[in-house]
Amino acid sequence: MKNFNLKVPDESKQLPHIYWLPKLHKNPIKFRFIIAAPNCSIKPLSKVITKIFRLFYRQIETYNAKSEFYSSVKTFWVIQNNQSVIVSINKLNRRNSAKSLITFDFSTLYTKIPHQKLLEVLNELIDFCFQGGTHEQVSINNSGASWVSKKSRAKLRFNRKVIKDAMKYLMDNCYFTFGNKLFRQIIGIPISSDPAPFYG
C-alpha cells in the first residue's frame, strides 16, 4: 500500500487459493491449475499493472502496424480475440490462396517461464515503450491508463522505475493457499492473474 500508493479493501486482505479444471479435450485427460484471486491482497496492484500493460500493448501494436505499412513485413502476431484470425481466413478464401491450416497447443507456455527471464524481457518492453516519447509517467484511473507529463496532477501515477518495481513485486509475491498450507509460485505465470495475458 505504501510503496504504490494504493488502498487494499478489507475484503481483499486475504490470499488466493488454487484449484484445477479438467482438460477434457486431452487424451488422457490433463489438468489446468488456476490461482483463484477475485479478492486478494495484491489484486489492486495487479489491476493497475494490467491497465498499464494494456496501454503498452496498444502502443506496440500501433508501432508494428506503421512498420508493416512502410516495410510490407508483418512483425506483430499477438491477438486479443479471434476477429483478426477470421478476417485473415476470409481474405485467404477470397483469394483461393490457402495451402493448409495448422493449429498448435502450447501446453506449458505459461507454466515454464522462469521469473527472472520474464522480468528481463518485460523490463526491455517497458524501456521500449518509454523511448522516444515526451511523457515520463503513466496515469491510472477507473477507465484505464494514459501517458502524462511529470507535471500531471493525476492521483495515481507510475514512472518507469515504479512500473518495474510493481511488476517485480507481483512476481515475488505469488503466494496462494492449498487447504491449510501456504505456497509461493517461483516459476511460470500464475494463470488467472490479471496481467497474465500481457505477460505471455
What confidence tier does 129 reach under pLDDT thresholds 50, 70, 90?
very high
45's CB contacts (< 8 A; 6+ apart) are 4, 6, 166, 169, 170
pLDDT confidence bin for 71, thresholds 50/70/90: very high
Q: At what angle are helices 43-71 and 160-172 packed, to 10 degrees?
A: 120
Contacts of 196 (CB under 8 A, 6+ apart): 110, 189, 190
Predicted confidence (pLDDT) at residue 164 exceeds the cutoff of 90 = yes
- pLDDT value for 189: 83
Residue 160 has pLDDT above 90, yes or no: yes
- Beta carbons within 8 Å of 20's beta carbon, 6+ residues apart: 31, 32, 33, 34
Kindly give, in sequence order, each residue whose CB lies less than 8 Å from that of residue 76, ignoring residues fewer than 6 positions away.
60, 61, 64, 65, 68
Q: Where are the alpha helices (DSSP H) in the chain?
A: 43-71, 83-95, 115-130, 160-172, 196-199
Q: How far apart are CA 72 and CA 69, in angstroms?
A: 6
Q: Residue 81 has what pLDDT?
A: 83
What is the residue-averaged pLDDT of the chain? 88
Contacts of 98 (CB under 8 A, 6+ apart): 89, 92
pLDDT at 126: 95
Task: Average the pLDDT over each of 52-66, 82-96, 102-116 and give the range with the smallest value.
Answer: 102-116
The pLDDT confidence band at residue 34, using thresholds 50, 70 and 90, is: confident
Checking if the pLDDT of 61 tops 80, the result is yes
pLDDT at 118: 92
Asked whether the beta carbons of 69 and 152 are under 8 A apart, the reply is no
